Amino acid sequence: MKKKLVLVGNGMAGVNCIEQLLKLAPNRYDITIIGSEPHPNYNRILLSSVLAGDADMKDIVINDWSWYEENHITLHTGQTVNAVDSERKIISTDGGLKLPYDELIIATGSNAFMLPVPGADKPGVIAFRDIKDCETMMETAKSYRKAVVIGGGLLGLEAARGLLNLNMEVTVVHKHPYIMERQLDYTASTMLRTELEQQGMKFLLSKNTETIYGKKRVSGLRFTDGTEEEADLVVMAIGIRPNVALARQAGITINQGIVVNDFLETNLPNVYAVGECVEHRGVAYGLVAPLYEQGAVIAKRLAGLETDGYHGSVVSTKLKVSGVDVFSAGVYADRPGTRSIRVQDDFDGVYKKVVIQDGKVIGAVLFGDITDSSRLFKMIRTGEDVTGHEKEVLLGASGGGAKKSGADMVAEMPDDEIVCGCNGISKGAIVSAINEKGCSSVNDIKACTKAGGSCGGCKPLIGDVLTYVLGADGVKTVKEGICGCTTLGRDEVVESIRSMHLTTSKEVMNVLGWSNTEGCSKCRPALNYYLGMVWPDDHEDERESRFVNERNHANIQKDGTYSVVPRMYGGVTTPADLQRIANVAIKYDVPLVKMTGGQRIDLLGVKKEDLPKMWEDLDMPSGYAYGKTLRTVKTCVGETFCRFGTQDAMGMGIKMEKKFERLPTPAKFKMAVSGCPRNCAEATIKDFGVVAIDGGWELYVAGNGGTKLRGCDLLTKVKTEDDVMEWCGAYMQYYRETGKYNERTSEWLERIGLDTVKAALEKQEDRLALVARIEHSLSLTKEPWKEIIEEKALNATYVPLAEEAPASAR
């Protein structure tokens, strides 16, 4: 008869240990698993992605019900083991089960730590630990607005990002002066906070919560400094504590966690423990990589194989917030005896630091570019001696130099370098899976090796390994939907909108089988744009789907006030307009008046309630400094005043701005006109740039002067101002019709290629057809503030959405 193996805890560490055992000794045990949660084994890590709308609950199941059956495992869900009788070797559950065991594994995980303050037990105060918490947050977001997350660590920030995506206003309350202080130094932490603030998160730092108040449900928090913050939902993310209740009852030795030796044995015979509930050599881990290493040791022991045991782990972390790359490993803070090398690039928002002691890399922090993370992590883990070439560790042998492609970087990686940190899978193991098992996609690799199956942070690197081995043509690309609600890509969605004549987002979601019938913050504004672009007459703008700045026709600033930017065509103004702006600034006590980079005037610090009256007094068109539309047309004085000028740059720019203003585009669209090749208006880093030459104009496209600097490509040369208008209109409409929502022309052109764009605009008949379509859409645009003032109906509610434009983006 087979020996009985019982696992308590159906979570990530325990079940992974069983999986490893099944590989080594498939038929050795009669296995029973008992779990308190009602679900099969799921990926707790991806709860952050579910909350952010990037994954669905069904996507995060690691082993579904059939896996247990296929492996002849008896599973009892929704039952908590409450006693271990180690004399008789029997466990009992709260559901009345009594099960004998020969070998027992305790994998009870952790409990979220809840602040022991008055009011912490009120409805609306939760942790973020399991599916139930995630569902509570998603449900709460439907009817409540203000969320406060206590704790600015990894979990708190991922929760906060998810809640922003659910359209809640989110404030993170952190007790330290800077966030993620357990993983980042001050510089990286500040860069991270700035980035998250731009995404719409607010921070209250150096705050200690004293009380959580509210009549029945939570309505706010009071801090020890006497200040308060309103809240409809409070999420505590202030760390975890090993769940040792069962072990304590069983008489197992406990310190902060269940104390185990190098073979994960407790002090009771035949009782192992694994995962977050465990304390090994004084350390309790809270990330899966070390927990899987622990599980491997138990699996070998139970399979009767030799093992050196577990000797502890060096851990690394990455924050799972889209658009933010943060990595931290080992010792990141300077201390006596350490020296560090830092690189900070404020242009690209990149910061890198490695800490070195006795010739060895002992820690690293990366922000903005984490391509070196696996190489540095290997150095930290292996303790490689870098004496004499310390600087190369961070700068590379060339001292920086051109950025390498992913596949080139993989070529330089040794076979034993770890690609998937969570599962400990090396480049060599992935290469063998490709060569020997025929894997040709990231999903194949995941199924074969488990790489990419936990946090998913290594998937881009797995993709690079595939490209390195198979070449770009050999890699099966997995279709990516426009968001987690659908598997349909941009082109399929737009094609269905056209062919099925879908005119509202609700219709699109219903007809195309969106998994989340309400959509998410990624797809809602995108659908609103595509529908308006395809059906300008039939689609009614869905204002509630727009980002807050677009909804309120003003840029929200970090302190919650707004900015007002009236249009100044071609950067040209008049004394009368300047006087009007000055009068308004004085009348409404505007704290800051600033010239923008786009040649206009920004009135900053405006109260929301003053917006309609200010616009009424200004009686000028909106500059759309907030919208996904034409922002500015920057001009130089051209031949009107400049002795080098060959054409009327100001006149050309004003004509273009007046023609194309207000029209929605996939992303913001900037133009400029220079009166000669000296190019004072910097036209060659704009979405559409015009440079005068003798007897004509050069037209430049797809430039970007922002975080990813890109010089324009020359589209064509033309002779007259009418030619410029025709090409500009045709180009803009082609971008409108083929661009992905939120994709700047610089990215769009790289994606579809300059030759494609040239071919689409080459023939005049094609250009004129595009121009006719843009003209029609332009004829339907309205001046927003005029409309609002006339209707006297500015939407009173402010609901921030994700990925708001940075306050300075104009």
Ligand X SMILES: NC(=O)c1ccc[n+]([C@@H]2O[C@H](COP(=O)([O-])OP(=O)(O)OC[C@H]3O[C@@H](n4cnc5c(N)ncnc54)[C@H](O)[C@@H]3O)[C@@H](O)[C@H]2O)c1
Contacts for 235 with CB less than 8 Å, ≥ 6 apart: 126, 127, 128, 133, 137, 147, 148, 149, 150, 156, 159, 163
What mask, x for binding ligand FES by CB under 6 A, covers residues 406 to 445?
--------------xxxx----------------------
* Contact status: 280 vs ligand X (CB under 6 A): no
DSSP 648: -
Contact 176, 151 (CB under 8 A): no
Q: Which whole-number Å values give the CA distances from 463 to 467, 468, 626, 788, in the listed order? A: 6, 9, 36, 49
13 near ligand FAD (CB under 6 A): yes
Give contact residues for ligand SF4 (rule: CB under 6 A): 636-638, 642, 644-645, 649, 674-676, 678-680
Q: Are 569 and 633 in contact (CB under 8 A)?
A: yes
Contact 376, 413 (CB under 8 A): no
Q: Residue 50: phi, psi to the nearest 5?
A: -65, -45
Residue with Cβ nearer ligand SF4 (299 or 718): 718
- Please check if 483 is assigned to a binding site: no
243 binds, among ligand X, ligand SF4, ligand FAD, none (CB under 5 to 8 A by kind): ligand FAD
Contact 629, 668 (CB under 8 A): yes
Comparing CB distances to ligand FES, the nearer of 430 and 712 is: 430
667 neighbors 628 (Cβ within 8 angstroms): yes
* Residue 456 interface partner, choices ligand FES, ligand SF4, ligand X, none, CB cut-off 5-8 Å depending on type: ligand FES
The Cα-based distances of 11 to 64, 90, 108 in angstroms read 13, 21, 8
Residue with Cβ nearer ligand FAD (287 or 465):
287
Count residues contacting ligand FES (CB under 6 A)?
12
Contact between 656 and 626 (Cβ < 8 Å): no
What distances in angstroms separate CA 86 from CA 89, 90, 234, 268, one per listed residue?
Answer: 5, 7, 41, 7
Contact status, residue 239 vs residue 153, Cβ threshold 8 Å: yes
Say whether 642 counts as a known binding-site residue: yes
Residue 496 Cα distances to 11, 18, 62, 527, 534, angstroms: 41, 45, 33, 12, 11
Determine the 3-state secondary structure of 646 from DSSP: coil
Task: Select the binding partner of residue 81 from ligand FAD, ligand X, ligand SF4, none (C-beta < 5 to 8 A, by kind).
Answer: ligand FAD
Residue 28 backbone dihedrals phi, psi, to 5 degrees: -80, -30
CB of 118 to ligand FAD, least distance (A): 26
Task: For residue 107, state whether it binds ligand FAD (rule: CB under 6 A).
Answer: yes
Report the residue number, 147 or 356, with the smaller CB distance to ligand FAD. 147
Residue 314 contacts residue 380 (beta carbons within 8 Å): yes
Q: Is 457 in the site for ligand FES (CB under 6 A)?
A: yes
**Segment interacting with ligand X, rule: CB under 6 A, options 79-87, 237-245, 251-259, 710-718:** 237-245
The mark string for 253-292 relative to ligand FAD (x by CB under 6 A, - otherwise) is ----------------------xx---------xxxx-x-
Applying CB under 6 A, the site for ligand FAD has a residue count of 36
Residues 6+ positions from 21 with CB-CB distance below 8 Å: 5, 28, 29, 298, 299, 302, 303
CA atoms within 13 A on the CB side of 580: 16
For residues 485 and 515, the answer to whether their CB atoms sit within 8 Å is yes
Site for ligand X in 32-71 (CB under 6 A): none
Which of the choices ligand SF4, ligand FAD, ligand X, none does residue 356 contact, using the CB cut-off of 5 to 8 A by kind? Answer: none
Decide whether 50 or 237 has the Cβ nearer to ligand X. 237
Q: Which residues pair with 556 in a beta bridge?
A: 562
In the complex, least distance from residue 44 CB atom to ligand X, rounded to whole angstroms? 9
DSSP-assigned letter for residue 76:
E
> In this complex, which beta carbon is closest to ligand SF4, that of residue 379 or of residue 691?
691
Chain-centroid distance of CA 369 in Å reads 14
Q: What does the block give as tokens for 364?
A: 């690293």
CB atoms within 10 A of CB 612: 17
| Residue 143, amino acid | S
> Is 238 an interacting residue with respect to ligand X (CB under 6 A)?
yes
Q: Scanning the structure block, which residue is given the tokens 């009368």? A: 576
Quick check: 154 binds ligand X (CB under 6 A)?
Answer: yes
Q: How far is the CB of 378 from ligand FES (least distance, A)?
A: 13
**Cα separation of 379 and 362, whole Å?**
8
Residue at token pair 């600015």: 152
The tokens describing 747, both together, are 């990215």
Closest CA to 325 of 380, 282, 368, 269: 368
Q: Are 583 and 601 in contact (CB under 8 A)?
A: no
**Contact of 608 with 546, CB cutoff 8 Å:** no
Residue partners of 506: CB distance under 8 A and separation at least 6: none
Binding track over 194-213 against ligand X, x by CB under 6 A: --------------xx----
Q: Which is nearer to ligand FAD, 255 or 405 (CB)?
A: 255
Residue closer to ligand FES, measured from CB, 152 or 421:
421
The interface partner of residue 80, options being ligand FAD, ligand X, ligand FES, none and the CB cut-off 5 to 8 Å by kind, is ligand FAD
Residue in 11, 14, 156, 456 binding ligand FES, rule: CB under 6 A: 456
Query: Does 240 sit near ligand X (CB under 6 A)?
Result: yes
418 bridge partner residues: 426
- Contacted entry of ligand FAD, ligand X, ligand SF4, none for residue 173, CB cut-off 5 to 8 Å set by kind: ligand X
Task: Identify the residue among 6, 47, 527, 534 touching ligand FAD (CB under 6 A).
Answer: 47
Q: Which does 331 bind (CB under 5 to 8 A by kind): ligand X, ligand FES, ligand FAD, none?
A: none
Q: Which of ligand FES, ligand FAD, ligand X, none interacts with 36 (beta carbon under 5 to 8 A by kind)?
A: ligand FAD
Whose Cβ is closer to ligand FAD: residue 291's or residue 425's? 291
Residue 53 lies near ligand FAD (rule: CB under 6 A): no
Identify which of residues 35 and 200 has a Cβ nearer to ligand FAD in the complex.
35
Q: Could you say whether residue 150 binds ligand X (CB under 6 A)?
A: yes
Q: Does 174 bind ligand X (CB under 6 A)?
A: yes
Q: Which stretch binds ligand X (CB under 6 A): 176-184, 242-250, 436-444, 551-559?
A: 176-184
Residue (451 or 680) nearer to ligand FES, CB: 451
Give the β-pairing of 125-127 and 233-236: parallel
Least Å from the CB of residue 319 to ligand X: 5
Which partner in ligand X, ligand FAD, ligand SF4, none is near 654 (CB below 5 to 8 A by kind)?
A: none
Three-class DSSP category at 153: coil
Q: Which of 29, 68, 128, 530 is in the footprint of ligand FAD by CB under 6 A?
A: 128
The minimum distance between CB 347 and ligand X, in angstroms, equals: 27
Q: What are phi and psi of 52, to 5 degrees?
A: -80, -5
The residue (of 225 and 537) whose beta carbon lies closer to ligand X is: 225
185 lies in the binding site for ligand FAD (CB under 6 A): no
For the four alpha carbons of 208, 164, 366 and 704, in that order, the dihedral sign comes to negative
Verify binding: residue 287, ligand X, rule CB under 6 A: yes
Least CB distance from residue 319 to ligand FES, whole Å?
12
CA distance linking residue 85 with residue 385, whole number of Å: 51
Contact residues: ligand X, CB under 6 A: 115, 150-156, 158, 173-176, 181-182, 208-209, 237-240, 286-287, 317-320
Which positions make up the binding site? Answer: 636, 642, 676, 680
Which positions make up the binding site for siroheme? Answer: 680
Contact residues: ligand FES, CB under 6 A: 420-423, 451-458
Contact residues: ligand FAD, CB under 6 A: 8-14, 34-37, 44-45, 47-48, 80-81, 107-110, 128-129, 155, 243, 246, 275-276, 286-289, 291, 320, 422, 455
Which positions make up the binding site for [4Fe-4S] cluster? Answer: 636, 642, 676, 680
